Structures are given as structure tokens and as C-alpha cells.
């Protein structure tokens, strides 16, 4: 068995959780915060049999879309004695996925 940890964008979460549940996956949803953007994202914990991992990754790929996000304004550039707010666009991935081996799984 594997534990899949998927960090996803909040905008995709409702669709993804519905789709995963429909397809028979068991999901736990956690509210999380990205260290770089310091804005909310969603972490899903999904325990899955080894032979279902690729199906699971395909569902995540299908639902989660990469997006361009503007970073929060930071007063970084000093232009003629005035600190100008500085922002730039970055691409946030559809999902960041970690796949871990599970030693033991019990539902009591």
C-alpha cells in the first residue's frame, strides 16, 4: 500500500475530491499553506493499493490545472528614494505529489 500526499490548489479541490470519491478512493482533506506564496492550498492524504497508484495520479493530472499567480507585493525596489511594490508572476503546478510506502494500515 502507498500513501499519496497531494498538494493542490484550492480552486481544484472540490472537483478533485468528488472525482476521487466517485472512483472509489478514500481521501482526507487538510487545509495547508504554501511556504513561498504564504497563501492557502489543500493537502490530500490518499491511502491506496499499489496497483491503483497510476490510476490515482491520472485523475489528479486530469483535474488539477497549472496556473499563473502574482506574488504578493513586497516593497523591494528603491526607486528615487521610494520603495516601489514589487510583484511578479509564477507558475503554480497542477499538483505536487509525494508517494510513500505504508508499513501498516488499520481501520478499526
Q: Enumerate binding residues for ligand 2BA (CB under 6 A).
A: 7, 34-37, 41, 90-93, 96
Of 10 and 50, nearer to ligand 2BA (C-beta) is: 10
With cell 511578479, the residue in question is 88
Backbone angles phi, psi at 16, to 5 degrees: -65, -45
Of 59 and 96, nearer to ligand 2BA (C-beta) is: 96
* Residue 24 CB, nearest approach to ligand 2BA (Å): 26
Of 22 and 101, nearer to ligand 2BA (C-beta) is: 101
Of 49 and 74, nearer to ligand 2BA (C-beta) is: 74
For residues 62 and 20, give the distance between their C-alpha atoms in angstroms, rounded to a whole number.
Answer: 11
- Cβ atoms within 10 A of the Cβ of 67, count? 14
Give yes or no for a contact between 5 and 98, defined as CB atoms under 8 angstroms apart. Answer: yes
* Residue 1 CB, nearest approach to ligand 2BA (Å): 22
* DSSP codes of every residue in 55-75: HHHHHHHHH---EEEEPPPEE
* Residue 102 CB, nearest approach to ligand 2BA (Å): 19
Amino acid at each position: 500500500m502507498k500513501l499519496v500526499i497531494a498538494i493542490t490548489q484550492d480552486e481544484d479541490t472540490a472537483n478533485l475530491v468528488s472525482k476521487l470519491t466517485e472512483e472509489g478512493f478514500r481521501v482526507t482533506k487538510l487545509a495547508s499553506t504554501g511556504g513561498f506564496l504564504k497563501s492557502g492550498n489543500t493537502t490530500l492524504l490518499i491511502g491506496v493499493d499499489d496497483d491503483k497508484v497510476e490510476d490515482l495520479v491520472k485523475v489528479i493530472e486530469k483535474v488539477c490545472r497549472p496556473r499563473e499567480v502574482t506574488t504578493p507585493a513586497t516593497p523591494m525596489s528603491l526607486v528615487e528614494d521610494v520603495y516601489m511594490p514589487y510583484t511578479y508572476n509564477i507558475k503554480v503546478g497542477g499538483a505536487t505529489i509525494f508517494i510513500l510506502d505504508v508499513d501498516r494500515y488499520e481501520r478499526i
